[in-house]
Amino acid sequence: MCGNYTKTICGAKNRGQLLRATDLAADLNLKEGEDYFLIKDMCFTELEPEDEDGTTLTCIGFRPLDDELAHTISKKYQLY
């Protein structure tokens, strides 16, 4: 992916709120693995595993999105 893009960093209060972004993305017909990606920590240092595979969900990354589409998701979160 080439080009200049604006990055928006938002914070979620907990795992449930973080996963809510995937629900919003699905409502907007965005696809996991194509339009957004779950980013997990392997828990080798500080974090305790939360998932069966020994990882912990830490963030969700989105491909560059149209401003209106991005705002539909990000407006539910606190901007960093």
Distance CA 21, CA 27 (A): 10
pLDDT at residue 1 is higher than 80: no
Q: What local confidence, expressed as pLDDT, does residue 3 receive?
A: 85
CA distance 38 to 26: 13
* 59, β-bridge pairs: 39
pLDDT band at residue 2 using 50, 70 and 90 as cut-offs:
confident
Express each pLDDT in 29-77 by its tens digit: 999 999 999 999 999 988 889 999 999 999 999 999 999 999 999 998 9
The string of pLDDT tens digits covering residues 7-24 is: 889 999 999 999 999 999
